[in-house]
């Protein structure tokens, strides 16, 4: 359930968790490039990534022993929970990466990060979260910041297949966020994180085994990049779900737009790429959106029972 009267301190903690999650997610793409450039298949990379995440998260669970889920929900390792949590994440990752076959990375990034708008629309139509002026302004700032960083796409030059794939990825992710929110009602974020990692491992393992690429590892650098992705993904799953529990669907989606800004900074620091005025302006706009969302929003009492995070 949502926390419409969440304190400012709680909002900051939730926001920090989502920002750290976004930075972890934003580190995945450069590591994927390193592994694929060395000849490792995408499905193999993802299998080892999710397998590593599963090992880390299951290990944390054995050490931490979070509270058990409500009896009606059942354990996190139920096949239905694993399928829902793992397939959603795997589908989004696959679609987003496949779109790069037809679209430049910057254009794909811009189109994928329209998903906060989809989340805002879906939650408003379903009556799950109030659509107020603060959130609309924050959404506009975040989308404008991304456009400034990567450049707004020229619709006339977009390949129709790539456009369809990346917009589908954005829409699936917009639907996946409320699904995660519902899965973790009565559950600890670690439980849902483990379900994502274990379910994703199973799905990608089937894919890589079917193509015969699971154990085709060109060198230690490629394999190390895959394993490092898994460690980062474990942190990203935990941070995202912990923040989602406090911030709700819309705030979490908008705050996550920090990710492309972080990826750009990594390009500057690790790949000696230049940084332009668009990146600076875009990052400032995104941070403005994040700060704006720290204002506690109190929902009217009559609507409080309809708000979900």
- For every residue of 155-213, DSSP letters joined together read GGG--HHHHHHHHHHHHHHHHHHHHHHHHTTTS-HHHHHHHHHHHHHHHHHHHHHHHT-
Question: What pTM value is reported for the model?
Answer: 0.73
Spell out where 196-274 has E strands: none
Closest by CA position to 289, among listed 78, 124, 86, 144: 144
Indicate the SS3 state at residue 7: coil
Per-residue pLDDT of the chain (309 residues; tens, 9 = 90+): 345 456 777 778 888 888 888 888 877 777 887 888 889 998 899 999 999 999 999 888 888 776 665 545 566 667 787 888 888 888 888 888 778 777 766 667 667 777 877 777 777 777 766 667 777 777 777 777 767 766 655 544 567 788 788 888 888 988 888 888 888 777 778 888 888 999 999 999 999 999 999 998 999 999 999 999 999 999 888 888 888 888 887 788 778 777 777 766 666 666 555 556 666 676 667 666 666 655 555 444 333 333 332
């Amino acid at each position: 359930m949502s926390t419409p009267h969440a304190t400012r301190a709680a909002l900051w903690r939730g926001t920090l968790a989502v920002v750290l999650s976004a930075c972890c997610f934003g580190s995945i793409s450069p590591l994927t490039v390193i592994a694929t450039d060395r000849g490792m298949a995408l499905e193999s990379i993802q299998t080892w990534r999710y397998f590593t995440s599963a090992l880390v998260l299951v290990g944390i669970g054995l050490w931490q022993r979070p509270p058990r889920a409500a009896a009606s929900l059942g354990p996190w390792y139920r096949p239905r929970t694993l399928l829902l949590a793992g397939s959603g994440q795997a589908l989004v990752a696959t679609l987003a990466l496949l779109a790069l076959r037809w679209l430049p990375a910057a254009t794909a990034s811009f189109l994928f990060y329209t998903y906060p708008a989809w989340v805002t629309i879906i939650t408003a139509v379903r009556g799950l979260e109030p659509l107020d002026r603060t959130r609309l302004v924050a959404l506009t700032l975040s989308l404008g910041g991304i456009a400034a960083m990567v450049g707004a796409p020229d619709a006339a030059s977009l390949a129709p297949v790539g456009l369809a794939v990346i917009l589908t990825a954005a829409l699936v992710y917009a639907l996946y966020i409320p699904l995660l929110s519902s899965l973790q009602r009565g559950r600890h974020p670690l439980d849902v994180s483990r379900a994502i990692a274990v379910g994703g491992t199973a799905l990608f393992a089937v894919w890589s085994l079917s193509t015969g690429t699971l154990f085709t590892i060109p060198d230690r650098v490629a394999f190390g990049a895959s394993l490092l992705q898994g460690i980062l993904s474990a942190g990203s799953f935990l941070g995202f779900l912990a923040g989602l529990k406090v911030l709700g669907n819309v705030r979490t989606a908008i705050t996550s737009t920090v990710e492309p800004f972080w990826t750009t900074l990594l390009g500057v620091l690790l790949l000696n790429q230049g940084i332009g005025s668009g990146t600076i302006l875009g990052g400032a706009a995104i941070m403005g959106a994040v700060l704006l969302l720290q204002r506690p929003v109190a929902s009217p009492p009559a609507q409080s029972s309809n708000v979900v995070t």
